[in-house]
Amino acid sequence: MLQFVNTLLTGLGQGAVYAAFALALVLIWRSTRVVNFAQGAMAAFTTYLALLVVESTGSWWVGLLVALASGLVLGAGVERVVVRRVGPHNELGAVIVTLGLFVALQALASILFGAQFRSFPAPAGLEGFSRGGVTIALTPSMLITVGAVAVVLLGLVALFRFTDVGLRMRASAFDGEVARLLGVPVGRMLTLGWALAALVGSLAGVLIAGGSLVWPAYMDTVIVNGFVAAVLGGLDSPGGAVVGGLAMGVILALVTGYVGSDLVPLAALAVLVAVLLVRPQGLFARTAARRV
């Protein structure tokens, strides 16, 4: 029983990070119909910047802020300089461009920061809370991870639901031509959307690195799991991305705990295949919203 509870807790903690990463993919998909395969490499890049700051200042929190801020800038820059040139209604072009960015950023990270493993400090303790000799797999670091994801998610919901910038971003995502006619600077809204998505991706990058190792390709498994989570939730649905992320975390933790960690990548792909076969629109997508 205790093992099951611990497996669940571990899975939910990991799932919060997948949720953030999936949400970053969904934000970009909704606004520009691009699956950003470079999301992981972008997050790895900003995590390296955070690591430099953490090592020189000794503060994990300052590192996190630097990662989020550089994520904003990097996301905006990628949209403005690279993605916008691909033009609308060019899905294949966008896929190739983001794959190219993925390779280029990963290579650049190797050149700038070195290809060796480096350890990234944890935000807080990695010891599970214990009472009466029983230790559960809930750690202070995990609480910070889940808390940070929750704060960012609620912030995004508030932005989209309750501000006029959010309304204009949603309008731009639904129909850019009409939004333009109504006076919305759609280009700026798309830049902002990419910036926010990269911020969320950077958050996932730092959280997954905390208490663990980073190397230029350390986000690769997160990309796969986060993408499966996004598809599981329906690529169009932010709420679905969160639920899908948590579900992926729990599923993979159960596989690790009861079957073997070797099978985790296989399990992730099995979930992807199952979703695409059984419910290709995802759990939460409104099918009507997917017809353009």
Partner 1 sequence: MTAPPADHAADRGPSAAGDAVLFAVDDVSVRFGGLVALDRVSLAVPPRGVHGVIGPNGAGKTTLFNVCCGFVRPDSGALRWHGAPVRRLRPHQLAGMGIARTLQGVGLFRGLTVAENVMVGADRHRRAGFLSGLLALRRSDRDERALRERALAALDELGAAHHADQLPGSLPYPVQKRVALARALVAEPELLLLDEPASGLGGDEMDELGALLRELAGRMAVVLVEHHMDLVMSVCDRITVLDFGKVVAEGPPDAVRDDPAVVAAYLGEEAHR
DSSP percent split of the chain into helix, strand, coil, nearest 5: 75, 5, 20
Tokens at residue 272, please? 């992807």
Contact in structure between 205 and 223 (CB atoms under 8 Å): no
User: Cα(158)–Cα(153) distance, rounded to whole angstroms?
Assistant: 9
- Residue in 107, 112, 182, 274 binding partner 1, rule: CB under 8 A: 182
Instruction: Report if residue 89 touches partner 1, rule: CB under 8 A.
Output: no
- To which residue do tokens 């214990």 refer? 130
CA 108 to chain centre: 21
Tokens at residue 137, please? 């797999």
Contact in structure between 26 and 204 (CB atoms under 8 Å): no
Rg for the chain, CA atoms, rounded? 19
Instruction: Report if residue 154 touches partner 1, rule: CB under 8 A.
Output: no
The minimum distance between CB 292 and partner 1, in angstroms, equals 10
Instruction: Report if residue 162 touches partner 1, rule: CB under 8 A.
Output: yes
- Residue in 5, 178, 213, 269 binding partner 1, rule: CB under 8 A: 178
Binding mask 112-151 for partner 1 (x = CB under 8 A): ----------------------------------------
Output the CA angle 125-14-100, nearest 5 degrees. Answer: 115
* Kind and range of the H or E run holding 119: strand 118-120
| Burial (CB count <10 Å: 0-12, 13-18, 19+), residue 143 | middle
The minimum distance between CB 163 and partner 1, in angstroms, equals 5
- Residue in 56, 163, 212, 261 binding partner 1, rule: CB under 8 A: 163
User: Cα(44)–Cα(209) distance, rounded to whole angstroms?
Assistant: 9
For residue 22, report the phi and psi dihedrals to the nearest 5 degrees: -60, -40
Comparing CB distances to partner 1, the nearer of 5 and 178 is 178
Instruction: Report if residue 165 touches partner 1, rule: CB under 8 A.
Output: yes
Instruction: Report if residue 289 touches partner 1, rule: CB under 8 A.
Output: yes
Binding mask 211-250 for partner 1 (x = CB under 8 A): ----------------------------------------
Instruction: Report if residue 3 touches partner 1, rule: CB under 8 A.
Output: no
Contact in structure between 125 and 139 (CB atoms under 8 Å): yes
Instruction: Report if residue 69 touches partner 1, rule: CB under 8 A.
Output: no
Instruction: Report if residue 262 touches partner 1, rule: CB under 8 A.
Output: no
The minimum distance between CB 30 and partner 1, in angstroms, equals 9
Q: Candidates 53-61, 161-169, 248-256, 276-284: pick the segment binding partner 1 (CB under 8 A).
A: 161-169
Comparing CB distances to partner 1, the nearer of 171 and 224 is 171
- Residue in 53, 179, 208, 275 binding partner 1, rule: CB under 8 A: 179
Instruction: Report if residue 188 touches partner 1, rule: CB under 8 A.
Output: yes
Alpha-helical (H) ranges within 87-125 are 91-113
Q: Site residues (CB under 8 A) for partner 1? A: 158-159, 162-165, 167-168, 170-171, 174-175, 177-186, 188, 192, 286, 288-289
